[in-house]
Structure 1
Amino acid sequence: MSEALKPPRVLGTVGASLLNLNGMIGAGIFALPALLYVGLGNFAPFAILLFAIPTICLAAACAKLSTVFDQSGGAQLYVETALGKFTGFQVGWFVICASSAGRAANFHVLVSYLAALFPVFDGPIARPITIIACIAFMTIMSVIGTKRSIGGVWVGTIFKLAPLVLLCVVGIGMNGVPSDVELPSFSGLESVALLIAYAFSGFGTSIATAGETKDPRTTVFRSVIMAIVGVALFYAVVQWAYIAIAPETGNADIPLAVAAQKLFGYWGSVMISIAAVFSIATNQLCGFIVFPRVLFGMGERNLLPRFFAHVSPRFLTPDYAILSYGLFVATIAITGSFATLATLLVAVEQIIFALILLSFGVLWKSNFRELRDATGSRWLVILPVAVAMVAWMSWQVPATAILSTMVMIAIGTILYWLAKYRVSRQLPKVAQT
C-alpha cells in the first residue's frame, strides 16, 4: 500500500526557486571573488553578468522540457522518454554518482569550516564522526517531510545571505562602486570562464522535484529563470563589494572573510565563516531533498527495483530512496573515493546537458505533448546559444576525465542489466508481456 502512495505537491514557485538558488550558492561564493579579481580585475562583475546570458539559454532549454512533464526525475526522465531506457538509466547513474561525490566532498569542506571555528571538530576521531552526524542529520531532515526540509532551507538561506548582504551594503556604501574598468584579453576571460560556470552549476535543481511541485509545468520553468537572474545579480554585487573594499589578495582561499575582517575586525571574519557553514549546509540539504527523487522516479518507472519507489505512509516522502542516497554519500565520504570521482564532475555535467539538448530536439520533432507548438521564434536563438555553450564547455574537459567517464558508462551498463533483471523478477507476469 505504501508503494501506491504519492508524495504531495507542496513546492510552489518560491520553494522551487529557493532550491535552485541554494543549488548554485554553496561554497564557491566564498572563494570566487578573489580568483575572478586576479583574472579579470574590475571587469569581473560584468563577466559574471555576461556569462549569465548563455547560462540562461541553456537553463531555458532544460526548464522548457519541464513544461511537458509533471513527474520527478528531471534530466533522467527527459532522456529516458526521448532516447530510451538504457540512455535514461545511464543519465540517472551519472547524476547520482556526480551528486554523491559532490555532497561527500562538501561535507569535508563543511567540517573544515566548523573546525576553523571550533577546533574540536578536527580531531582524527571527531572529524569522521562529525561527517557521519551531518549526513545523518540531512537524511533525517529529508525523510521527515518536504515542507520541513524547505523550512530548514529557509533558515539556512537567511543565515548565509544576511552577512553577505551586510558586507555588500557596508562595503559599497563606504567605498562606492568601482568605476575603473579595463577590458581583459580573450585568454584571460577564457581562463576564468570555468570558474564562473562552476558558480552557476546547480541552476536546475528544482527540475528533479517536479512530482512534488504545484503546477510543475509552469512553476519549474519560472523558478529556474528567476533563480539564475537573481543569483547573477547577487554574484555581481558581491564582486563589486569585494573590489570596493580592496582587501589584500594574498589569501585567496577566504577572500570574503578577509574583506569582512577589514570592515568589521575579528568578528567580521567570524561572521563570514558562520555564513559559509550555513551556505554549505543549506546547499547540502538541497541535494538531499532533490537527488533522491531521481532514484524514486527510476523506481516508479521500473528502471530500478520498486524498493526505491517506496513512500513513507507517515511523512509522504520517498524514504527508501533518501536513506539509500544518504548511505551512498556516507560511503563515499568516509572512504575518500570522492577524490577519484571529482574528475568526472565537469565531464558528466556536459554529457547530461548534451543529452538534454538532444532529447529536446527529438521531443520537439515529434511535437511531444505539443512542445513544438509552445516554442516560438526566439528559440532559434536560445537553442544555438545553448548548444554552443555546451560544446565550448565540453572542449574544456580534461583528457583524464574522458577515460574515467568511459569506465563509469561501462559500470552503468552492468548495473542497468542487473537492475533490469531484478525488476523483471519483481513485476507480475501480466506486466511483463
Structure 2
Amino acid sequence: MTDIIAPPRVVGTMGASLLNLNGMIGAGIFALPALLYVGLDSFAPIAILLFAIPTACLAVSVCKLSTLFDGSGGVQLYVETALGKFTGFQVGWFVICASGTGRAANFLVLVSYLAALFPVFDGPIARPLTVLAFIAFMTILCVLGTKRSMGGIWVGTLFKLAPLVLLCAVGLGTNGFPVNIALPSFSGLESVALLIAYAFSGFATSTVAAGETKNPRTAIYRSVIMALIGVAIFYAIVQWAYIAIGPETTDAEVPLAAAAQKLFGDWGAVMISVAAVFSIATNQLCGFITFPRVLSGMGERKLLPKFFAHVSPRFLTPDYAIISYGVFVAAIAISGSFATLAILLVAVEQAIFALSLISFGVLWKSNFRGLRDTTGP
C-alpha cells in the first residue's frame, strides 16, 4: 500500500515564498547590474520596478488558477485541466525538459564559479565529477525529506542574501542614494527588456509543489505576490547600490564582485563570489524540490506510469520521481555545453509559455465553473 501514501503538507506560506524567491534569484543578479546600467544608465532601477507591473499581471492570472487546485504540477496541471490529458502530457514533458536543461546549464556555471575560488575543481575530470557530486547531493537531500531540503533552502538563502544586503547597506550608506535619473532612449530600453524579464522568471515556482503546501489555495496566491514584490524591490536596491558605488566598467562581467572589491578590498570580491556560489546552488536545490513533483503528479493522474507517483514510506517524498529527475539532469549536464543547453532551454520555454497562455484563456473564458482539482489529499 506504499504507492498510495500522500506526501505531507509541510510547506507554509513563507516556505512557498522562499521557493519563488529562489526561483527568481539565481546567477542573474550577479551579472545583471552592469548590463542594465550599460543599457539604461541611472534609469535602470526604475525600469526594474516598471517591468514588475506586467509581470504582476501574469502573476495574478497564475494566482487565480492556483486557487482552484490542491495538487502538484503547476502549469502542467492547469493545461491538463483546460486542454485535456494529451496536451497536459506534452506540457509535462516540456516542463521537465526546460527545467532539467536549466538545472544542467546552471550546474556548469556553479562549478565555474567554484573553480574560480578553488582551482582544484577545475580540469576535464574534476569539473564533471563535481557536477555529478552536486546533483547526487541535491537528489539525496530531497529524497530524505521535504523539511530537510527546505531547511537547505533557508540556509542557502541566508548565505546568498546577507552579503548582498551588506553590499547595499555600505554602498548606499557610504556614497548616498543616487537621485539623478536620466531617461534612456527607446532602443536602450528595448535592448534590456528581455534581461529584466529573465530576472523575474520563476516567480510561480511554488505552484509546482502545491501538493505539499499547507492551504495551497491561499498560500500559493500570497507567496507569488509576496515574492514578486520583494524581489522587484530588492533588484532595484541592488541596482541603486551598484550605481552609487560606481565600480570600474572594465569589471562589468562580475559587477557586484567589482563593487564589493571597491568597498571592502579583495575579501569583498571573495565574499560576493561565495554568495554567487550559494545563490546558484540554492536556486538549483529549489528546482530539485519542485520539478520532480511534475513527474509525481503526472504519475498520480495516470499520464505516466504509477512508478513516478511512488512515495517513500520512510521519508514521505516522491522518491522515484526525484531520483529520475536527478538522473535526467545528470545525463544532460554531462552531454552538453552551456551554450547548447541555453538555446534548448529558450526554445522549450517558449512552447510552454504559448500553451500556458492558451490554458489561461480557456479557464478564464469558462469563468472557472466546475474546475476543481480532486487530486490533492
The alignment's TM-score, normalised by the length of structure 1, stands at 0.84
Alpha-carbon displacement from aligned partner over 1:138-195 (angstroms, at most 9, x marks no partner): 1011110001110000000000000000000000000111111111111110100000
Partner of 1:111: 111
Q: Which amino acid aligns with 1:278?
A: F
2-structure distance, mates of 1:363, 1:244: 46
Whether the 8 Å contact between 1:167 and 1:260 is mirrored in structure 2 is: yes
Q: Which amino acid aligns with 2:310?
A: H
Partner of 1:252: 252
Greater mean alpha carbon deviation, residues 264-273 or residues 345-354: 345-354
Alpha-carbon displacement from aligned partner over 1:297-337 (angstroms, at most 9, x marks no partner): 11111111111000000000000000000000000011116
Partner of 1:340: 340
2-structure distance, mates of 1:13, 1:7: 17
How many residues are matched?
Answer: 372
Q: CA deviation at 1:343?
A: 1.6
Alpha-carbon displacement from aligned partner over 1:249-274 (angstroms, at most 9, x marks no partner): 11221100000000000100010010
Secondary structure of 2:249's match? coil
Q: How does 1:242-321 map to 2 (within 5 A)?
A: 242-321=242-321
2-structure distance, mates of 1:337, 1:192: 25
Secondary structure of 1:247's match? coil
2-structure distance, mates of 1:273, 1:337: 22
% identical aligned pairs = 80
Partner of 1:101: 101
1-structure distance, mates of 2:367, 2:25: 35
Whether the 8 Å contact between 2:105 and 2:341 is mirrored in structure 1 is: no
Q: CA deviation at 1:60?
A: 1.2
Secondary structure of 1:368's match? coil
Partner of 1:26: 26
Whether the 8 Å contact between 1:364 and 1:371 is mirrored in structure 2 is: no
Alpha-carbon displacement from aligned partner over 1:268-305 (angstroms, at most 9, x marks no partner): 00100100000000000000000000000111111111
Whether the 8 Å contact between 1:68 and 1:369 is mirrored in structure 2 is: no
Alpha-carbon displacement from aligned partner over 1:379-432 (angstroms, at most 9, x marks no partner): xxxxxxxxxxxxxxxxxxxxxxxxxxxxxxxxxxxxxxxxxxxxxxxxxxxxxx
Q: How does 1:419-430 map to 2 (within 5 A)?
A: none
Partner of 2:4: 4
2-structure distance, mates of 1:45, 1:272: 20
Q: Which runs of 4+ in 1 moved over 6 A?
A: none
Whether the 8 Å contact between 1:145 and 1:317 is mirrored in structure 2 is: yes
Whether the 8 Å contact between 1:2 and 1:311 is mirrored in structure 2 is: yes
Whether the 8 Å contact between 2:108 and 2:338 is mirrored in structure 1 is: no
Greater mean alpha carbon deviation, residues 31-40 or residues 115-124: 115-124
Whether the 8 Å contact between 1:102 and 1:338 is mirrored in structure 2 is: no
Partner of 1:200: 200
Whether the 8 Å contact between 1:73 and 1:297 is mirrored in structure 2 is: yes
Secondary structure of 2:250's match? coil
Partner of 1:150: 150
Q: How does 1:20-419 map to 2 (within 5 A)?
A: 20-336=20-336, 339-369=339-369
2-structure distance, mates of 1:257, 1:287: 26
1-structure distance, mates of 2:339, 2:182: 38
Q: Which amino acid aligns with 1:9?
A: R
Whether the 8 Å contact between 1:62 and 1:357 is mirrored in structure 2 is: no
2-structure distance, mates of 1:178, 1:370: 52
Greater mean alpha carbon deviation, residues 53-62 or residues 159-168: 53-62
1-structure distance, mates of 2:341, 2:263: 39
Q: Which amino acid aligns with 1:183?
A: L
Unaligned runs of 5+ in 1: 373-433
The alignment's TM-score, normalised by the length of structure 2, stands at 0.96
Whether the 8 Å contact between 1:17 and 1:226 is mirrored in structure 2 is: yes
Call closer, same or farther: CA 1:61–1:72 in 2, change over 3 Å.
same
1-structure distance, mates of 2:7, 2:60: 26
Call closer, same or farther: CA 1:50–1:73 in 2, change over 3 Å.
same
Partner of 2:375: none
2-structure distance, mates of 1:125, 1:4: 42
Alpha-carbon displacement from aligned partner over 1:349-398 (angstroms, at most 9, x marks no partner): 343233223222222333335679xxxxxxxxxxxxxxxxxxxxxxxxxx
Greater mean alpha carbon deviation, residues 334-343 or residues 50-59: 334-343
2-structure distance, mates of 1:126, 1:362: 49
Which of 1 and 2 has greater Rg?
Answer: 1
Which protein, 1 or 2, shows the higher relative CO under an 8 Å CA cutoff with sep ≥ 6? 2
Q: Which amino acid aligns with 1:355?
A: L
Whether the 8 Å contact between 1:62 and 1:356 is mirrored in structure 2 is: no
Call closer, same or farther: CA 1:337–1:264 in 2, change over 3 Å.
closer
Greater mean alpha carbon deviation, residues 342-351 or residues 242-251: 342-351
Whether the 8 Å contact between 1:157 and 1:278 is mirrored in structure 2 is: yes
2-structure distance, mates of 1:237, 1:347: 32
Partner of 1:13: 13
